[in-house]
Amino acid sequence: MRIAFASTPVGPLGSGVGGGVELTLEILAAGLQKLGHSIEIYAPSGSVLGGFFVNQIGGTLQTPAQDVDRGEPIAITKGSVLENIWDQIRRDQEKFDVVLNFAYDALPMRLTSLLRARVVHLVSMGSLTDAMDEIIVETSIRHKNAIAMHSRAQAQSFSGLSPDVRIVGSGVVLDNYRFNGAVDGALGFVGRVSPEKGVEDAVAIAESTGLPLKIWGLLQDAEYLQRAKSLHPRAKVSHEGFVTSEQLGRELGQCRALLVTSKWIEAFGNVVIEALACGVPVITYRRGGPAEIVVDGHTGFIVEPDNMGQMAEAVRQIGRIDRSECRAYVASNFSAESFARKVENWLHEALTAG
Ligand code: UDP
């Protein structure tokens, strides 16, 4: 297949603003290319992705959907990079069998019926606004196989979605994550430092367990982190900054456990499989994708949503988890190869469904 990738318009690839989408796109580009497909990428100017041709597209960046209130209508910004990406794809469409959209936006959904090329969407987040819910659900019903999601929990967050929606999971390149069998390190938190990620709960758990907490991730809301720290003055917290995925793969293994304290429904939670790949067990609230990935008592623990007492207790029990089982679980279920194959199957079916 000749495949065009339409990247997220919230930030250039490599900036971290796109969160999990950035690595997902990279893994799929490499994985689908290995399977013999040709890939061309359209992404905001400044995007960096080694080994691939990236059409660098200018324009105003989009506001991430997680920063918008549920009732807000869809805003179309003048001169937006989103519009420019799709205008370029419209002009180039004869070059492709299929256009794979990574943007969580209305415009690409609408274009599913307006472009001659087949357009399909890998939806990166759960339900966030009424307007986007409506358009995602409608697209899923009108266009068979046009939509894939990362987890069942993500799909369930939308009501009325077509049962044809594909669940494709996610994947990691195992070799990029260094296994570490040591169990006495700090607690870890990986993700954009932003309220929907619930960093404040991880800080509270660091305080109640007396263990240091290392945070890796883009500081999207510095005040929020400051507030969390001042609410829990005895917590030993260090912000390691936003590091490249190579560096994260080298450092993450030093953690005793990864805490996933998200307040929103994570579509998947790439950081969960990244930590497990390093041998780091994951303790998560029973909410969204992470609770679908973690095998309670084997690759970490699942505790009730927002129950920090239970999470602190799980931290104390973490020595019961076999770290090599965590890595083996990722190798069998979430390799980059198996993810690329699932997406390849979905694309084939989407093309035959027409
Ligand atoms: N990440 C990174 N460097 C950091 C912190 C995070 O490259 O310092 C990456 C992380 O490896 C993961 C992504 O950011 O691939 C976050 O994805 P996730 O699906 O967990 O959350 P999202 O940000 O999409 O909500």
Could you report the per-residue pLDDT of 72-104, keeping only the tens digit for each?
Answer: 998 888 899 999 999 999 999 999 999 999 999
- Alpha-carbon distance 333 to 314, whole Å? 24
pLDDT over 60 (residue 336): yes
Q: What's the N-to-C CA distance of the chain in angstroms?
A: 14
Out of 3.40.50.2000, 3.40.50.300, 3.20.20.150, 3.40.35.10, the CATH code matching 2-171+335-353 is 3.40.50.2000
Any atom of ligand 1 within 6 Å of the Cβ of 216: yes
Residue 11 Cβ contacting ligand 1 at under 6 Å:
no
Looking at residue 50, what is its pLDDT?
A: 86
The tens digit of pLDDT for each residue in 259-314 reads 999 999 999 999 999 999 999 999 999 999 999 999 999 999 999 999 999 999 99
Q: Identify the residue whose C-alpha is closest to ligand 1 atom 18.
A: 20
Residue 353 predicted with pLDDT over 80:
no
Does the Cβ of 154 fall within 6 Å of ligand 1? no
- Band of residue 332 on the pLDDT scale cut at 50, 70, 90: very high
CB atoms within 10 A of CB 142: 12
Q: What would the pLDDT profile of 20-53 be if each residue is shown by its tens digit?
A: 999 999 999 999 999 999 999 999 999 999 889 9
The answer, yes or no, to whether any atom of ligand 1 lies below 6 A from the CB of 271, is yes
Q: Whose CA is nearest to atom 13 of ligand 1?
A: 20
- Kindly report the average pLDDT of the chain as a whole number: 96
Does ligand 1 lie within 6 Å of residue 18's CB atom?
A: no
Ligand 1 centroid from CA 40, angstroms: 23
In this prediction the pTM is 0.94
Region 242-259 average pLDDT: 96
Domain ranges of the chain: 2-171+335-353, 174-333
Query: Does the beta carbon of 191 sit less than 6 angstroms from any atom of ligand 1?
Result: yes
pLDDT surpassing 70 at residue 354: no
- CA-CA distance, 225 to 4, in Å (whole number)? 38
Confidence of residue 235 (pLDDT cuts 50, 70, 90): very high
The pLDDT of 123-133, averaged and rounded, is 96
Residue 284: CB within 6 Å of ligand 1? no
Other CB atoms within 10 Å distance of the CB of residue 323: 22
- Ligand 1 centroid, distance to 1 Cα (angstroms): 29
Report the distance separating Cα 325 and Cα 175, nearest Å.
Answer: 16
**Which residues lie closer than 8 Å to 33 by C-beta, 6 or more apart?**
39, 52
Distance 21 CA to ligand 1 centre (A): 8
The answer to whether domain 2-171+335-353 and domain 174-333 are alike in fold is yes
C-alpha of 228 from chain center: 24
79: nearest Cα among 102, 48, 47, 45:
45
**For a pocket test of ligand 1, which of 270, 272, 273, 282 has the largest count of ligand atoms closer than 8 A to its C-beta?**
270
Class of domain 174-333: alpha beta
* Cα 51 to Cα 64: distance, rounded to the nearest angstrom: 27
Residue 293 Cα to ligand 1 middle (Å): 16
Q: Relative to the CA of 240, which ligand 1 atom is closest? A: 8
How do residues 189-223 score in pLDDT, each as one tens digit? 999 999 999 999 999 999 999 999 999 999 999 99
